[in-house]
Structure 1
Amino acid sequence: MINLQPYENPGYFILLMVALLPAIIIRLYGHRSHWYETVVSFIFLFLMFDGKDWHQGVALIGYTILQYAVISLYTRYRTKEKSPNKFGPFCWAVILSIAPLVVVKFTPLFNNGQSSIIGFLGISYLTFKSVGMIMETRDGAIKEFHPVKFLQFLLFMPTISSGPIDRYRRFEKDYDRTLTSEQYTDLLGKGIERLFLGFAYKFIIGYFFGTMWLPQVQRMAMQSRGGFLDLSWPLVGVMYCYSAYLFFDFAGYSLFAMGISNVMGVETPRNFNYPWISRNIKDFWNRWHMTLSFWFRDYIYMRFVFFIMKHRLIKNRVTIANLGYLLLFLIMGIWHGETWYYIVYGIFHATVMILTDAWLRFKKKHKDWFPSNAFTRVMAILMTANTVCFSFLIFSGFLDRLWFH
């Protein structure tokens, strides 16, 4: 029997492409096929939560009803109240929107590791979409609530389980446009190319790093943990092997989501932009899991900085930025999980961001001291890549197994 969890095996793609074939034909003739694509999406969502995962499907329905109510009521408040910028209703809307995710994330901590009954695959990405809509509604960027478009955006099947995290206004504009036959043919070609590249990333390269090599180097590291010198090289192997696996597996998922979105006529934003050529950690976060990092930047970091500066709580801008980094990456670490290594991972990246900012300020002040050439650029790339790989070793949780189990 074919596993119908998104993008887990080639059989899933065969079924999905066969189901989408009528939509492809309709679009090749220059017409829209939203009604059919919506039906296919809901069928595959149903199959995704079928069988033993039926309770996740029920949780998704309840979650969708909650987000629908929160966002529709907040939009109505914004458009009808004479003073719609009050902070209280906005805070309550955000709290109610993120409440299910907070419960899901922290339930294992207080329930002997047991998962919450209201959890389901993709709850984080749907929450980011919902909170983003509330933020943009407060800003006045979203002025109306369209029930059907909201459901199409929130439950857009290709991105529901693994992202990328789209923005409502971009999705609405993209989803509503009618492509010509030539435009759709080009987009379909991009989608198929991304699907094949995703297969290479996840099912070939990711398989070698994650399934064939990673367990071997982990076993070597566990056997060598009696002495520091004996452990060092196997641990370096784990660091590089896990980092490669994480990239190719996650980038493969993102390419699948983009590819299927393209087949359905939507240009979902990319998630990775050659992150391994980053010259510093700031550059890295502008290239790695871009939709997530930009979401955290826009809706947490920038709003924190604006709030502090508006109320003049802290005068020094460098201090404000540094506190913003700590808040941003601490939340990002906790979002991944409540265990110590996720939190340390977040603090590590915040620390490196703060040091990078300090270095860039110093370098700008003394630009004549530091040459810019091919050698310095390569060294910057290598230092950044190794710093990131070390952070991924922390993120992997392997050090927890190595030291405490």
Structure 2
Amino acid sequence: MKLAQYGDYLYLYILLLSFIPAIVLGIKGKNIKYYGVLISILMVGLIVGTGKYNLHLFIMFIIGEFLVIYGYLFIRRKTDNKLLYYLALLASMLPVIITKTSALTSFGPIGFIGLSYLNFKAIQMIIEIYDGAIKEVKFSTLVYFIIFFPTLSSGPIDRYRRFEEDLNKTIEKQEYLDEYLYTGIRKIFIGLGYKFVIAYLVNTMWMSKVPADITFINGLSYMYAYSMYLFFDFAGYSSFAVGTSYILGIKAPDNFNKPFLSKDMKEFWTRWHISLSKWFGDYIYSRIVLNSMRKKRFKSRFTASHVAQITTMLVMGVWHGLSSFYIIYGLYQGVVLVLTDIIQRKWKYYKKHKKEKWFQYVQIIINFNVACFGLFLFSGWLFR
């Protein structure tokens, strides 16, 4: 049996049943960790599936990443050699590299649902072990961190140190009721409304009815329909995942915060798929800028920032897939971020009016369309 996480009613029924022991433990002020590990193992089996290869690949992934993490942790205690760091980083990235490149072969993608998001966790740990931010890795914590089922298939992408801090926190009964159970249930109901009502209606009554002919009107209609559908579907899923995490005593990070009210694309990426954009910002963008400035590759930090923005978004596009429209989407996002920065720094009219309400409303309207066009490119509608 294989279930679509947060995507079918049988999964939701099983999920509801799985809440009961967690809620009882939380109300009694008991540690939910051990139950969480057990239910995560069971749910991973249902989500990943018992197909011919999926579960085997999942187990191979876990064993491989654990060997890389603990192997590099041992090496890092002896040396900070960059070559060894890069080799460990490459080894941790191999699963997602294999999955993305195998999609271009006649065999099709080799992997399992959620592999990319799990791989982000392992890659982040290698980077932070090198930085010295992670010095010890408890085996039971690592197991739970990697297989934590609420965020398995599509995030949000958590960080090891933040997860460990939540895991080790003692939660009293009233705190669990007020900050975890109530908040978790509220987020799950938001997820229900977004994914199973609004996204469903947008898809069935609008997006699916857009004619297949490539015309300006059809493209414009599909652009807005797809943008709305993608937001409510993905934000609904994320709200489900975060709500479930809260009920299990883990405050997984929120992934969306009213992104279409952003005044520019820099703000948009602090509101849309927040855990992914922060991951790319922390581990790719910031490091490119810092290394470029340290090695004086560019005359100004603005040039370094612009190169980093385009590179980061291009990598994000490639991470989604090697299809041409994902690469174009990544380049588009990078160029838009660069243009946003140039406009905000150099356009006198912007500086003069940026604090005025009318100007901010105009910004929101313009940015909404800029964001929707990016999602339109991402949909691949033009490249069928």
Unaligned runs of at least 5 residues, structure 2:
none
Alignment correspondent of 2:316: 332
Alignment correspondent of 2:90: 95
**Residues 184, 247 of structure 2: 8 Å contact kept:** yes
1:19, distance to aligned residue in structure 2 (A): 2.5
**Secondary structure of the corresponding residue to residue 53 of structure 2:** helix
Partners of 1:24 and 1:54 in 2: CA distance:
35
Question: 1:115 pairs with 108, 123, 135, which one?
Answer: 108
> Cα distance 1:307–1:185, how it changes in 2: closer, same or farther (>3 A)?
same
> Cα distance 1:21–1:369, how it changes in 2: closer, same or farther (>3 A)?
closer
> Cα distance 1:236–1:146, how it changes in 2: closer, same or farther (>3 A)?
same
Alignment correspondent of 1:228: none
Partners of 1:126 and 1:63 in 2: CA distance:
9
The structure number with the bigger radius of gyration is 1
**Secondary structure of the corresponding residue to residue 206 of structure 2:** helix
**Residues 29, 172 of structure 2: 8 Å contact kept:** yes
Question: 2:190 pairs with 193, 197, 218, which one?
Answer: 197
1:116, distance to aligned residue in structure 2 (A): 3.5
**Residues 4, 48 of structure 1: 8 Å contact kept:** yes
1:3, distance to aligned residue in structure 2 (A): 5.9
Give TM-score scaled by structure 2 length. Answer: 0.96
**Secondary structure of the corresponding residue to residue 333 of structure 1:** helix
Count of matched residue pairs: 383
Unaligned runs of at least 5 residues, structure 1:
226-230
Partners of 2:114 and 2:31 in 1: CA distance:
27
Alignment correspondent of 2:358: 375
Amino acid in the other structure paired with 1:33: I
> Cα distance 1:371–1:55, how it changes in 2: closer, same or farther (>3 A)?
closer
**Residues 262, 268 of structure 1: 8 Å contact kept:** yes
The within-5 A match list for 1:291-306 is: 291-306=275-290
Question: 2:125 pairs with 127, 133, 143, which one?
Answer: 133
**Secondary structure of the corresponding residue to residue 272 of structure 1:** coil
Partners of 1:86 and 1:256 in 2: CA distance:
42
Give TM-score scaled by structure 1 length. Answer: 0.91
Alignment correspondent of 1:280: 264
Over aligned residues, Cα RMSD in angstroms? 1.5
Amino acid in the other structure paired with 1:235: G
Partners of 1:182 and 1:107 in 2: CA distance:
50
Question: 2:238 pairs with 229, 235, 254, which one?
Answer: 254
**Secondary structure of the corresponding residue to residue 162 of structure 1:** coil
User: For residues 90-121 of structure 1, what are the alpha-carbon distances to aligned partners after superposition, in whole Å with 9 as ceiling and x for unaligned?
Assistant: 10111000011111101122x13x3243x010
1:249, distance to aligned residue in structure 2 (A): 0.4
Alignment correspondent of 1:165: 157
1:123, distance to aligned residue in structure 2 (A): 0.8
Amino acid in the other structure paired with 2:366: M
**Secondary structure of the corresponding residue to residue 182 of structure 1:** helix
Question: 2:72 pairs with 71, 74, 82, which one?
Answer: 74
1:5, distance to aligned residue in structure 2 (A): 2.2
> Cα distance 1:3–1:144, how it changes in 2: closer, same or farther (>3 A)?
closer
Identity of aligned residues (%): 38
Partners of 1:255 and 1:285 in 2: CA distance:
18
The within-5 A match list for 1:4-403 is: 4-51=3-50, 53-79=51-77, 81=78, 84-109=79-104, 111-112=105-106, 114-117=107-110, 119-186=111-178, 187-217=180-210, 219=211, 221-222=212-213, 225=214, 231-363=215-347, 369-370=352-353, 372-401=355-384
> Cα distance 1:63–1:3, how it changes in 2: closer, same or farther (>3 A)?
closer
Partners of 2:49 and 2:68 in 1: CA distance:
27
